[in-house]
Structure 1
């Protein structure tokens, strides 16, 4: 399981694993509509499920996040070994899509429930990573954080993570530094959260 950085927080990971690694068994249906602004996201009423969800994310959302068509994609499930975490066994469901010029869109959800006190610790640690700036937010769960990191010269990663009920969801977009990167990240995170929202009602 990754928290806010793949190679950190192993002690916290073990604490979560002891609470159980099972996810919800019923996948969410594809959304009929998706908010275009994160300010419209009613996080308090959402029931984000802990399931494999890559096929639920609209392809148009992937293309919008990357600013181009994806050239490669991959997914992982609870118990898989994670490339970004040195092949350690993870406890999450996740997806990644890659485009040209070091562009990437990723999202993952922890496979087991998360307590608010643990989530608060994740928010605090987001601002302690080298090369990153973390700001607490209420737009993407409670608590939640938006993190901005410089990952290479001219390349930036913007990440949102937050607690929806007892589900911790993380989403991020990486790409060349651009004034549009934050807006693309926000739209991406709304699309992912909406895809996982089992409490959604049809219009």
Structure 2
């Protein structure tokens, strides 16, 4: 793992631990409260503006606990693809992917996804991609969302009984995206919170050393 990323992750965990110690009264013989597990980290716990994602496969670095936390239970299926793979985009239609990505699906139809463009992305193109995300049919910006890299954007979209929260942004020269979909029966605030933590997991996984 690059030194800058190691330092950032260490600082995150140290900060979270110090906040917990200040809130929970401890005696001289009490152990320090443990820092949160990676599955519990939110985007607000990270300075995503200094994270640099790798433009390669990162899915093995995502843990089962992070997936279950996003979906609200164990996944019923999963899929992944690499740059150059043929992937389905519609019924009986495939296309060649120019990204690395993965997804997990729950029995209730919830889907957690993460993907990163294989080619490098400039700051100018990142700004265009962010604007385009807010203009997609059925989507609205999520202004209260934490930053997700640089030129970041978060949107909430609704379609066919599902609500999807997605975050996208520039991490170094990598355009990284994540999304969490769930039936509209799941409260919006709950979905936003779960998506926030899922996207934090995707950001950390993509910034870790490739396998």
Instruction: Name the TM-score, length of structure 1 as normaliser.
Output: 0.77
Q: Which runs of 5+ in 1 are unaligned?
A: 1-27
Instruction: Tell me whether 128-137 or 174-183 shows the greater mean CA deviation.
Output: 128-137
Residue aligning to 1:68: 73
**Separation (CA, whole Å) in 1 of partners of 2:61 and 2:45:** 21
SS in structure 2 at match of 1:87: strand
Shift of 1:167: 0.6
Following superposition of structure 1 onto structure 2, how do residues 38-53 of structure 1 map, counting pairs within 5 Å?
Answer: 38-53=43-58
Q: Tell me the distance in 1 between the aligned counterparts of 2:106 and 2:130.
A: 28
Structure having the higher helix fraction is: 2
Map of 2:155 onto structure 1: 147
Q: TM-score, normalised by structure 2?
A: 0.74
Work out which of the residue numbers 107, 110, 124 in structure 1 matches 2:131.
124
Is the CA contact 2:82–2:100 (under 8 Å) kept in the aligned structure 1? yes
Consecutive unaligned residues of structure 2, counting only runs of 5 or more, are 11-36
Matched residue of 1:117: which SS?
helix
**Paired residue for 2:197, among 158, 172, 187?**
187
Contact (CA 8 Å) 1:41, 1:140: kept in 2 or not? no
Cα distance, 1:141 vs. partner? 0.8
Aligned residues, how many? 170
Could you tell me which of 94, 97, 112 is aligned with 1:90? Answer: 97
Aligned alpha-carbon RMSD (Å):
2.2
